Structure 1
Amino acid sequence: MFHSKQRLSAAPRRIALACALAAAGGAHAQTATDPAPADGAVTVAQLAAPSLPDTIVTANRVAQPLTDVLADVTLLDERQIRDSGAVTIADLLQRQPGLELSRNGGPGTTTSLFMRGAENRFTAVYIDGVRVDTQATGGAPWEAIALGQVERIEIVRGPAAAVYGSDAIAGVVQIFTKKGDGPFSPYVGLGVGSRRTGKLEAGFSGKNGALDYALGAARDLSRGFNSRPDANPDLDGYRQTSASGRLGVQLNDDHRIDLSATSSHIKAGYDGFTPDLHDVSDSRLSTLGASWSGQWTKNFSTRLSVSESQQRYETEPSPYLTKTTLRNVLLQNEWRQGGHLVTAALERREDHLTNDPIDQSRHQDAIALGYGYTGGPHTLQVNLRHDRDSEFGGQTTGGVAYGYSFAPGWRVTGAVGTAFRVPTLYQRFSEYGYGGLQPEKSRNLELGLHWADHGSRFGIVAYRNRVTDLITFGAAGPCGSLYGCYANTGRAVLRGVTISGAHKFGPVNLAGSLDLQDPHDAATGKLLARRAKRILKLNADTRVAGWTLGAEWLASSKRYDNAANTNVLGGYGLVNLYASTTVAREWQLLARIDNLGDKAYQLARGYATPGRSFYVGLRWSPK
């Protein structure tokens, strides 16, 4: 059921399912697994996001036409991100199919995203091609990733370790900041909202001959709300400062150099375990990347990239400090001939953790091979990768995907793949750690059916991902801590069906998705903590007198806050409204109301979530 004390009748369920299969060209997300257009039809990318180029780089780490991509993919462009009015990147992503959000309070507090019911650490995250992770808890620090400078997001569901190595058990999220193109273009934006929320952003981008550039900065703040009214009656606000820059130089027709950098610093109040204590977290995240690409012949190209990310998290007055540094070097070669694409890559990754008294490092060296073919109704993708870890030795992963367009607009797809994640350095060397931990491993199988035609689309993907050697925190053991130890004691089965669609009914664009999933502990059969079995997301928008008016509905069934499934988190439904218009030649206005019904719900037991909220933003961006 979607609410803890109310069931949906059979008729509304059928209506909800029908709506989930509907959507429109202006939808906030689209799946890029649709077949090539036939009989004059256009692709889903052209329908749902006309400003996006007809390529995607996430799925196989190379630029490919959308019709050649077999993975379950969602693309979000700059307009969709800006019009969403989302405060954080996690808030934006939870509106996409197959993704759930868990947070201990408001923005700036510990945030997790579950892709297809998998742990937060099972999704590999990149910012401008730079890997982002923490060697403490594992997984991307979503609360530290700023949304203000983001221009494009690519989401790939399904294991991708055969392309990206360790961590990509559930999928990959690629985040791209603004890139310069066209003449010099400045912008300035400001916004205000409830709870004394404010935002100020400014930047510019452009291209001058062989040089393209982009630079932007933003400042966000909010007084916040009381996230634990029964335990710690104080307001938990936040202040975030972020910046990003990209620089590209086209040396000649065949060679190019790209540089990128991002920085985010957020201080946020949170409620810990000590009553009446005003806890504050200080989180910093920075990335640096440099790459060179060369086109040696019409068919053969090479790309070399070097990158580093640093994540620092500190709390006060309760003392805690952890710092993670990741470094990557990637050399990738591509050969294209007709419908064939062959890739060969060498990669080195280095991880370092400082978390007193821990000061540990490790590295992985890998070789990856890939082959893709597109011809007539057939599409094939094969990947194989071998990682040599300095602690755990060799890890081999592979993936095979196939698509067949059996009729105009229709395509069926199937894929199998393996993946792994090595334990974090904290899981091995902290007082709760155990040096004998082994990598977590998975085997995934999925089948999909997709249709697209003249502004309408439909997709259904069924998947089953079996995870073994799952690392859990349990009872006292070999670590010596009386509070518990990390151990390879778990097995999980992540299975489900995602249904998504798009259609236009006259002037109204409809979009939606329905996730029916069962992420459970294979030993006990219990549902994994903080994950729902049913999630429905609907969106509708239309144009009226120069305004874009829209509404969103997110409904989630009940979840449990613990592995034993004894602490219930009730189901909930949220309605959001938004509107935007051009108020002058170069000025855009955006207004949103989130949680229109002022629904009280929890994403983590004991932690409140924001009630009804409003936001109004104004942006100047001359053409």
Structure 2
Amino acid sequence: MSAALRLSPLTLAMAVAMATCPAVAQQAPDEVQVITADRFGDANDQLMVVDTIDRKTIETLAPKSVYELLARLPGITVTSNGGPAQSGSVMIRGANANHTLVLIDGVRTGSATLGTTPLEALAPEQIERIEVLKGPRAAIWGSDAIGGVIQIFTRKLDQGQWYAAAEGGSNGYWRTSAGAGVSHGDGHTSLTVNHEQSDGFNVRRLGQPDDDGYQRTSLALRGEQRLTEQWQLNWSGQVTDGNYEYDYDPTWGPGHDEADYLNYHYAVGAQFDNGVLTSKLQLSQMQDQNEHYNEAEPTLGVNEFRTQRHQLSWLNQVRLDALTLASGIDWYEESVEGDYAKDSRHVFGLYSLARYDHARWLAEGVVRMDNVSGVDSEVSYQASLGYRFTDTLHLSVSNGTGFKVPTFNDLYYPGSGNPDLVSERSENWEVTLHYARNGVKAHLSGFHNDVEDLIQWAPVGDGTLWVPQNIADATLKGAEFGLEYQVGAWMANAGYTYTDATDGSTGASLIGRSEHQADLGLGYQWQWADVRADYHYQGEREGSGRQIDAYQLVNMSVGYQPSAHWDLRLKLNNLLDDEIVSSNDYYGPGREFFVSVSYRGF
């Protein structure tokens, strides 16, 4: 019997036990809007699995990177090439890193050359909330959402609200940040700034014997203006200027070991809502720019990569009692700089959604069409059905398809691109048991995702030239359990994921995926103090040519609030000083400590 079959009955028993436990005599926290689920913000999580990380949790965890926040969620595997500012990746339920769609304030931010988003460039201090959507919902969002969707919302401060903070700690780490909110008539705007720097540590044992430091400075803006009772304008933007050091592979001789980047995005939009019809229009632009070099070896030159994307979305929704209808248009043009055979393309997508919610039944269907210039056209769908056994326990079944458009590197990289590539495609099933009652929320999911036409770089001819081809496929299946508990002064979370991610042609395990992953967190809030401990277990997994060992990570955060405005915090990372290897030859930091002080003018 497989590990999944052995573990599922135990996990199911835990869910049933929670469903039959007595009510807890506390009120649940206010429900957070789940915008990522249907792009309008009034869909609940009864048909899908959505994990939300709010501002309070971010402040308590005191993370050094977005990767640290995401790694604690069930179903998500994070790899990092060293410290918090080195490049990393996020895999949802065994899918590839570029099978995750990342949006910041609704703006697509993935690189058109690499296909991934540099989350290492984002400062957690400037984030208000993160929503992670897992399962077959790609038809709502289009390309890249094969594994799931991560949407990040920047800080929101009202009139008179402001803060200032400073933090220092291990490896020469230092951070300063501040933010303020201002009003203008029936509207407000938030402005935040953050600067971080660190001497770093040696991230690669087989590389250069030096510390790999980093620095980043970011400015973010977010606001809205109500024009009438029904009309509203909104805007957001962020620019990040940074630098990080890394180690080249010495077996290939001297190489680049440092990178500068300048990334930005901005969006402006308008919304109409009369209680029945909601219409949203948003225009946005993003840039991802990197320059790689080696100051000690100037003859190596500078490799520059820059991609831009202009985007337009128009979404409409009509609410008719038990029936909700929605339709939307997405258009974007992306371009790259460099010696590419083709340096721009546009994507046009159109989707329609219908949702019916009556009595114990909840049903939803989505159909989407996308046309990618120079590549192909794709039609994707999603169908979901939910049944409420009680007000607290319900079951949902979902099936959907998705796709991933080849990147510019795949199609047109000088000397080795393949313009005949087609999009990667997936079909995803999910069955989930949901439970929610008085501060306790849990889910148990089984998932099965078949991905075809995966792009893989392989040798052609005499083997001296490698080109990308649609020659691979994968099967991603497993089970996921998540629990959140927040009652009175206590808070806790637990998660476990079993993942069987295999190559469809060989049956071998895919690189970087662990069969077993577990998380446990426990916190307590006194009147003027709080303490929290978090445990993360990452099982062994295949690396490039070798097995990567399992590791355990224990972090702790202790806060003291001498008044309603001041917050003093001690953060301890990797208390066990375990050797953390999440990618071949790249090591995480050892035991670390950080001390921060912040003042909030609200």
Q: Could you state the TM-score of these two structures normalised by the residue count of structure 2?
A: 0.92
Tell me the distance in 1 between the aligned counterparts of 2:422 and 2:70.
Answer: 31
Q: Which letter maps to 1:272?
A: Y
Answer yes or no: is 1:119 the counterpart of 2:96. yes
Answer yes or no: is 1:485 the counterpart of 2:467. yes
The corresponding residue for 1:228 is: 204
The corresponding residue for 2:237 is: 261
- 3-state secondary structure, aligned to 1:291: strand
Q: Which letter maps to 2:314?
A: L
- 3-state secondary structure, aligned to 1:117: coil
Tell me the distance in 1 between the aligned counterparts of 2:76 and 2:385.
Answer: 24
What pairs up with 1:285-300 in 2 under 5 angstroms?
285-295=263-273, 297-300=274-277
What pairs up with 1:406-425 in 2 under 5 angstroms?
406-425=389-408
CA shift, 1:108, in A, is 2.2
Are the equivalent residues in 2 in contact too, given 1:471–1:489 (CA < 8 A)?
yes
Tell me the distance in 1 between the aligned counterparts of 2:507 and 2:334.
Answer: 35
1:235-261: CA deviation from partner (whole Å, max 9, x where unpaired):
001001011001211111111111111
The corresponding residue for 1:64 is: 42
Structure 1 spans left out of the alignment, 5+ residues: 1-9, 25-33
The corresponding residue for 1:596 is: 575
Are the equivalent residues in 2 in contact too, given 1:145–1:285 (CA < 8 A)?
no
Distance 1:399 1:614, change over 3 A: same
CA shift, 1:230, in A, is 3.4
The corresponding residue for 1:527 is: 509
| More deviation, 534-543/316-325 | 316-325
Q: Which letter maps to 2:359?
A: G
Distance 1:323 1:20, change over 3 A: farther
Tell me the distance in 2 between the aligned counterparts of 1:335 and 1:383.
Answer: 15
What pairs up with 1:172-187 in 2 under 5 angstroms?
172-181=149-158, 183-187=159-163
CA shift, 1:504, in A, is 6.8
Are the equivalent residues in 1 in contact too, given 2:160–2:601 (CA < 8 A)?
no
1:296-341: CA deviation from partner (whole Å, max 9, x where unpaired):
x431221111111100011112531111111111111111111221
CA shift, 1:474, in A, is 2.2
Tell me the distance in 2 between the aligned counterparts of 1:22 and 1:614.
Answer: 40
- 3-state secondary structure, aligned to 2:56: helix
Q: Could you state the TM-score of these two structures normalised by the residue count of structure 1?
A: 0.89
Residue from 100, 109, 112 that aligns with 1:135: 112
The corresponding residue for 2:459 is: 475
The corresponding residue for 2:261 is: 283
Distance 1:303 1:76, change over 3 A: same
Are the equivalent residues in 2 in contact too, given 1:306–1:330 (CA < 8 A)?
yes
The corresponding residue for 1:203 is: 179
Greater relative CO (CA pairs within 8 A, separation 6+): 1
- 3-state secondary structure, aligned to 1:64: coil
Distance 1:302 1:457, change over 3 A: closer
CA shift, 1:508, in A, is 4.5
Are the equivalent residues in 2 in contact too, given 1:20–1:512 (CA < 8 A)?
no
Are the equivalent residues in 2 in contact too, given 1:23–1:510 (CA < 8 A)?
no
Are the equivalent residues in 1 in contact too, given 2:37–2:43 (CA < 8 A)?
no
1:411-457: CA deviation from partner (whole Å, max 9, x where unpaired):
00100000001100111111331111110000000101112222333
Distance 1:39 1:614, change over 3 A: closer
- 3-state secondary structure, aligned to 2:510: coil
Are the equivalent residues in 2 in contact too, given 1:266–1:282 (CA < 8 A)?
yes
Answer yes or no: is 1:156 the counterpart of 2:139. no
Tell me the distance in 2 between the aligned counterparts of 1:395 and 1:276.
Answer: 43
What pairs up with 1:394-409 in 2 under 5 angstroms?
394-409=377-392
Number of aligned residue pairs: give it: 587
Distance 1:315 1:261, change over 3 A: same
CA shift, 1:41, in A, is 9.2
Distance 1:128 1:577, change over 3 A: same
Q: Which letter maps to 1:72?
A: V
Distance 1:19 1:529, change over 3 A: farther
Structure 2 spans left out of the alignment, 5+ residues: 1-5, 295-299
The corresponding residue for 1:271 is: 247
Answer yes or no: is 1:616 the counterpart of 2:599. no
Distance 1:279 1:380, change over 3 A: same
The corresponding residue for 1:568 is: 547
What pairs up with 1:357-372 in 2 under 5 angstroms?
357=340, 360-372=343-355
Q: Which letter maps to 1:282?
A: D
What pairs up with 1:283-362 in 2 under 5 angstroms?
283-295=261-273, 297-317=274-294, 318=300, 319-357=302-340, 360-362=343-345
Distance 1:606 1:22, change over 3 A: farther
- 3-state secondary structure, aligned to 2:471: strand
Are the equivalent residues in 2 in contact too, given 1:22–1:501 (CA < 8 A)?
no
Are the equivalent residues in 2 in contact too, given 1:19–1:538 (CA < 8 A)?
no
Q: Which letter maps to 1:294?
A: F
Q: Percent identity?
A: 26
Tell me the distance in 2 between the aligned counterparts of 1:173 and 1:270.
Answer: 26
